[in-house]
Structure 1
């Protein structure tokens, strides 16, 4: 009887110890590429034993889901397509302060006390090289007669990166380039992938303000598509990863950020044709130092978000 009780007690103790070392799952909401988060989640789980639940969508849909779950939050980490999300969440006091040891080679402008870039995209012109149109060199080229009815524009209400470019270019010339585009038959055509698909299929010739990594990925698959960065300048879109302070799994979430910024994680970022956040990880694409970037005040641009979206809606009749 005593021996049986000892065995039972030992079994209970072992179970308690195993439970103590068990890892909680984490949940990641991301506006990044599906294939990237799937590979990163699998790699992280293989390394750590921590399962990753994923919700992937546009920035707008990710934000809507977070708001809908405000009373009962389940998300631990958010990866947005716009740095403004990190700025906004930090102002609201929603984020955990954390600096990963793997962030040492991430430039200062791509990290803060509460966020760090997973990677970086840039906005350009996605052009179908077999469209029969002249190769564009500037944003305004897509408003020329040769591109009549052949241009798509990502919806700035759905895409965080598209909004930033729209706000910057609109502030520069009082939305003249967008008025000219509309007069030339350009249309707002959904989020980034929806805007690009007709160009890949040959129904359209170009996307004004395309997210570069999606286009590079299709080019690598053999599609007749290329990315042009206008000499007058463009904007980049760092993709901040943030741990929410309502997370019940903050230690596990920090481990995910560490993995995201590890050699293995950053090579996954580069493989999707995003620019890695770390400067020591190579990528088969132009990097920030290769681009002419427009100078602007991001807080001023985002401070006029509703005004900007209304102007675009009025111009293109998307009310």
Structure 2
């Protein structure tokens, strides 16, 4: 009995020292869905013994929060959201460079050259269409399913389109920059002005349009394809269209510099860039992993089968403040 008690005390002391070493919890700010975050962090804690906590927000809101807290950071990890949402924090000195040994298994194209952030998933924007409402309300007007961005400018879609706010959502910002880079800034803003006439409202969350269109609240929604695949695979009456010259993202993860649990944050980066975590994330989210040894999610379209616009992360990060100011002046 005494031997058992001694072993138990040693075990509890080890756990206590681990908690002290890594703080009470690893705090994660994440732009992923709450269910995905909870499952990912639960798996990490079970494997490492490091406790976790998280706050879910859109990528734009996380950027604003990390910037505001830069003098006294409260979180350790920024998980998810387009790479430019991470890159915009680099000049502020808000991210801690860390070259994880696990990153060696990922193509350098998906990693920040100085390892301020690491890409762990990929995704392209798509158009979500409620098939029941489209066939009942739009097809009788003589219109076919939209195939291009310009098709969405038809007056038949007035007040029937939802997309995320570019200020609060990385998805919304990606959509806006998609048009500016596809057409050039002058014609791009002209397109967004015309598109705005058909928008019912701009959501705070990037994934919300897929859910709203799936539920029949609106006919058209713009969001990333993986966020459309989820309600589509659940049986909602949806069609997913990838228009030509569509933007795509490298979803990032980074360490917040000066956070309370730096060593635990590094362990998380090592873990989340691994094969098992990558497969778990893809299975949960239907996103495409940057790792070649992670299976493609069911129903997902490989990026090489989509007509993608040239990647524009650096431009999106360097021009973020200017573009968002202009977007706000026009549409808020």
Shorter-chain TM-score bucket reads 0.7 to 0.9
Structure 2 regions of 5+ residues with no counterpart?
Answer: 1-7, 139-143
State the 1:293 CA deviation: 1.6
Correspondence for 1:303 among 304, 309, 318 = 318
SS across alignment from 1:81: strand
The count of residues paired between Structure 1 and Structure 2 equals: 305
8 Å contact kept, 1:36–1:268: no
> For each residue in 1:239-271, what CA deviation from the matched residue of structure 2 results, as whole angstroms up to 9, or x when unmatched?
211112203422221211122122221112211
Cα distance between partner residues in 1 of 2:223 and 2:15: 49
Match of 1:115 in 2: 117
Task: Measure the CA separation in 1 of the matches of 2:324 and 2:94.
Answer: 26
Distance across 1 between alignment mates of 2:108 and 2:273: 14
Match of 2:293 in 1: 280
Alignment RMSD: 2.6
**Counterparts of 1:69 and 1:201, CA distance in 2:** 37
Rate the CA distance shift 1:182–1:20 in 2: closer, same or farther, 3 A.
Answer: closer
Question: Could you tell me the TM-score, scaled by structure 1's length?
Answer: 0.85
The 5-angstrom pairing of residues 164-313 of structure 1 reads 164-171=174-181, 172=183, 173-183=187-197, 185-191=198-204, 192-207=206-221, 209-231=222-244, 233-271=245-283, 272-283=285-296, 284=298, 285-295=300-310, 297-313=312-328
Gaps of 5+ in 1: 1-10
1:201-223: per-residue Cα shift (whole Å, max 9, x none)? 2231111x312222111111111
| Aligned-residue offset at 1:107 | 1.8
Could you report, residue by residue, the CA deviation over 1:163-219 in whole angstroms, capped at 9, with x for unpaired residues?
Answer: 123123135123232222234x32332132443343122231111x31222211111
Which moves more between the two structures, 252-261 or 38-47? 252-261
Give 3-state SS (helix, strand or coil) of 2:93's partner: coil
Is 1:144 the counterpart of 2:154 in the alignment? yes
Matched ranges for 1:6-155 at <5 A = 19-22=16-19, 23-24=21-22, 25-112=25-112, 113-130=115-132, 131-132=134-135, 133=138, 134-155=144-165
SS at match of 2:126: strand
